[in-house]
Structure 1
Amino acid sequence: MKNLIFGIIATLMVGAIFGFSGNSIKKDTPKKEWIIAPRFLTLQKGITKEQARKWMENEYLPLYRYHSGWNAQLGEPTASGKWGKSDNTAKEKGDFVLIYFFDSPKTRDHYFPPDGAWSEDIQKVIAEHNSTWKDFFGKYFVQEKYQNEEYTMFATAK
């Protein structure tokens, strides 16, 4: 009888331990969505990649330090093409890629409301750094070749 009671208690304890650990895994991974927004940039004639890169790193990218929940990173396209080929025929990628990261769709909508207006936060930074904003398309990049894409991300491997 003693062994039977001990066996029942041990079985209940093992079941409880594995039951709680299974539930905690599901609760520790909440649903999360974030936005990535690549912008493909083409240089103006007469501007070198080195000039544009230095300007972006020193003048343009620091403006995003004012915005919480939003970051910007600069890169250079290194390959593009069809499946299994890197022949750059799939799509013109320009000279640089600027990738915006918003920590949620709500954050993106705060800075860029669905009605098309820009938030007061954005307008304030533009007003304070107007010459930088004017140089973006006025001096360094071609606005007509600016590619604007956005992706809502919902899953990650890590």
Structure 2
Amino acid sequence: MKNFLFGIITTLIGLAIFGFINNKKEREIPKKEWIIAPRFLTLQKGITKEQAKEWMENEYLPLYRYHSGWNAQLGEPTGSGKWGKPDNTAKEKGDFVLIYFFDSPKTRDHYFPPDGSWSEDIQKVLAEHKSTWDDFFGKYFVQEKYQNEEYTMFESAK
């Protein structure tokens, strides 16, 4: 009887320890890094926001459907300023913001290697859609006002 009771207690202790270890592993969040890269765009003179938006939606943004791990979204700056002062005085943001999302730094480096070159994947799509690429700065946006920023993201609330 004594051995039977000792076996049950040992089994219960083992299950409790095993359950605690498994519970702890489930709560650990795996390390993840991704890149967001806002690009601020200023319209060329004579181009309206409506014209540029329609062109971006129909011609430019579809080019990013060719690339896995990389997405692009278009938006419009609605506020910029110091804390509590949305007066747009902190920095000129242009007319649109184009935000690129890379699922990892490795993906970004695949498409845009650290040496400053562009990957063969990018060059192929650009060659196939040269007129769209030429219109980007040639017709719709001012290249001299193009702002290029990148951020490595490493934490999330969810």
Taking structure 1 as the reference length, the TM-score comes to 0.92
What is residue 20 of structure 2 aligned with on the other side?
18
User: For each residue in 1:59-105, what CA deviation from the matched residue of structure 2 results, as whole angstroms up to 9, or x when unmatched?
Assistant: 00000011111110000011111011101011100000000011111
Give the 5 Å matches for 1:35-50: 35-50=35-50
* 2-structure distance, mates of 1:9, 1:109: 51
Q: Percent identity?
A: 77
What is residue 139 of structure 1 aligned with on the other side?
139
What is residue 66 of structure 2 aligned with on the other side?
66
| AA in 2 matched with 1:148 | N
Q: Secondary structure at the match of 1:53?
A: helix
* 1-structure distance, mates of 2:7, 2:129: 76
Q: Secondary structure at the match of 2:15?
A: helix
Q: Secondary structure at the match of 2:92?
A: coil
What is residue 108 of structure 1 aligned with on the other side?
108
Q: Secondary structure at the match of 1:37?
A: strand
Aligned residue pairs total: 156
1:3 CA drift (Å): 5.6
1:19 CA drift (Å): 2.0
* 1-structure distance, mates of 2:154, 2:15: 36
**Structure 1 spans left out of the alignment, 5+ residues:** none
| AA in 1 matched with 2:96 | F
1:7 CA drift (Å): 4.2
| AA in 1 matched with 2:16 | V
Taking structure 2 as the reference length, the TM-score comes to 0.92
1:12 CA drift (Å): 3.2
Q: Secondary structure at the match of 1:39?
A: strand
Superposed CA RMSD in Å reads: 1.4
* 2-structure distance, mates of 1:5, 1:103: 51
| AA in 1 matched with 2:147 | Q
* 2-structure distance, mates of 1:140, 1:21: 55
